[in-house]
Structure 1
Amino acid sequence: MNWITNYVRPRINSIFSRREIPENLWSKCDECGTMLFHRELTDNLNVCTSCGHHMAITPRARFSALFDGGAFAEIEVPAPNLDPLHFRDQKKYPDRMKAAQKATGEKEAMLVATGDIGRTPIVAAAQDFSFMGGSMGMYVGNAIIKAAEEAVHLKRPLILFSAAGGARMQEGILSLMQMPRTTVAVQMLKEAGLPYIVVLTHPTTGGVTASYAMLGDVHIAEPNALICFAGPRVIEQTIREKLPDGFQRAEYLLDHGMLDRVTPRARMRDELIGITRMLLGLPPAVMGDLPPPDPSRAAPAPLEPDPAAPKAPDEA
C-alpha cells in the first residue's frame, strides 16, 4: 500500500496533471481583441499584427529599437524632493511612487539617453505611460532640462517621445511649473541651432501638450494617437455637441495642420534618421553595416576611345 501511495499515485498525477502556463505569454489587442503571443508582439514593437494597433511600449524597449545595435548610454537625472507637499489621497505619495517603481522597474516616468541612430549622434528622452500615467512632475522637468543641456554640450539634436496624462496632481503647482521650465529648455536648443524633434505617442494630453510636446521643429505622431489638452469627453460635456469622428487623433490633427507626419512605429527609426540628418545638413545615411564610400578611392571613369587611333580589322 505504501508503494502505491508513495510512488504510483504521484507518478500518475504528474503525468496527467494540468501544467500551469505563465500568464504573460499572451496579450490581448485593445482594438481588435486578437490574442498575440508575447514574442511575436515584442518582435513587432508592440504593434498588433492583426489590425496594426499601436500598444504602449516602454522607453527602454523603444530605445533598443531606435539606437544603432540597441546600444545607448543612460544619462543621470537630478532627483528632486520626493514629497514636497506631503500629499495623500487613498495612499501616500511616496507609497504610490514605490508601487510604480516596483511595477515598472524604473526610477521615474522619463528616461534620457545618448547614442547613435544611422551613425548620427543624438540625445533622446522618452516618457513611460505605465509609470503613473507618464505624469509630468519635477523629475520629468529635470529630465528634459538635463537632456537639453546634454544636447547643447555635445552639440547633438534632441528627440523626445511624449506619452503622458498631463501634470502630476500629487505635486500641485510644482508640477505646473515644469511647463515654463521645459519651455526655457527648448529655447536653449533653438538658441544653439540644434534640432528638436518630438514624437507624440498615445496618449499625449494636458500640460505636456501645452508645453514641450508642441514646441518641436518637427512633430511626428504614431497612428491613432490621442493628442489634446482637454479630452474629447470633457469637450463634449462643455459644448454639449457631438464631436467629429477621430477628433483629436493623430490623423485628424495632421489634416488640420497640427502635425508634420504620422508614421507607423516600424518606420519611425528610418524617418527620424532622415529628418535628423536633413536638419543637420548631412548627406543621407548609408544603410547597412558597410562604411560610407570614399569618393577619393572611387574607380576612374573609362577613357573615351580616340577617333584618330587605328581601328582593329574587325572594326574597319
Structure 2
Amino acid sequence: MKYLFAILHKLRPLFPQSLVNYGYHFPKAYLAARLYGNPGADLEIIGVTGTDGKTTTSTLIYHILKTARKKVALISTVDAKIGRKNLSTGLHVTSPNPFTLQALLRRMRSQKIRYVVLEVTSHGLDQFRIYPLHPVIAVLTNITHEHLDYHRTMGAYMTAKLRLFKSAKHAVVNKDLPLFGEINARLPKVMFSTYSLHESSQLKPDNIKYFQDHTTFTLGNTFYSIPLTGEYNLYNVLAAISTALLLHVHQSDIKRALMSFKGVKGRLESIENKRGLHTYVDFAHTPGALRAVLTNLRSLKKPAEQLIVIFGAALWVVSLVVYGKRLLSNLIVLKLST
C-alpha cells in the first residue's frame, strides 16, 4: 500500500488539486484513521485555525487547560505535547500527515488524554488531513489574504478554513473580522461565542493598557495582567479565554494560567543580552502579521530608540501571487522600521 501512495504522490502534479484531494488525500486519511482505530472519536478536539495567531492561541488554550489540571495534549507548528514529552511533528508542519496525526492521537488516547488542542491549516483542511475528526470547539483567529498560490481565490481559502466548523458544536470567532458577517451567515447551525475589542460581543475587555513586556485589562470584575504585548496578542488571549469558558474552566484558573504563560518560541521571543537592547525573534512572515508585530513594537519604543528589523523574503518565486505577497512584506518592513 505504501508503494501505491508513493506512486500517486509522484503523479499529483499532473492532476487538478480537487481531484488530488479526493483521489489521493482523502483515501490516505481514511486509511490512516482505520489503521489506528479512529482514536479521535474518544477525544475532545479543539481545532484552531486562522491566517495568523494559530500557534499562540493553541498554546494558550493548552496552557490554561493544563493549569486547570485537565488531561490535555497539543499539536502545533512547534511540536506535539503529550504528558511531559515534546514530540517533533516535522519541520514547520502545522497539520501533520494523516498517519502521523492518527499515531499521535492513538498515543494520547492510550494515556487517557481528554482534550486535544489541534492547530489546523487551510492546506490540512483542504487535503482532509484531519479527517474524520469532529471538534467540539473550532476557533478562528482571523482571515487575511494568504496561500492564494494554492487556493487561488479568497473565497476558496475561506471555504477551506470553514470546513473545520461544519461539524463543530461551538465556534469561537473574532467579531472584529471584516468577514464576520459572511462567516456567521455560512455557519447557521453552529453556536457562536464571540470576542471583540470594538464590537458588542460575549467577551469584550475594558481598561486596556499596553506596556513594553505585558498588557493589562479587565473582563467584568476580573483584572488581568498578561506577559504578552500588542493588540494582536490580546485577540489571541481573548480567543483562548472564550474557549476555556466554554469548557467550564474557572476564571481564577484562567487568570493564573495567563499570568504564568511563558510565550511561544519564535513568537515575539525576547532574547536576553548584556547591552540593554530590546531584541526579539518573531515568526511573522505574512503582510498582516508583520504589520501587527512591527506596529506594536514601534508604538512601544522610546523616541530616542530605533526599530531595526532584519527580515528576509526572496522575490525569485514562480508564483506571481507569492511574489506580490513577499513584495508587500518587504514594503511593510521598509515603512515601519526606522
TM-score normalised per structure 2: 0.31
Q: Which structure's CA Rg is the greater one? A: 1
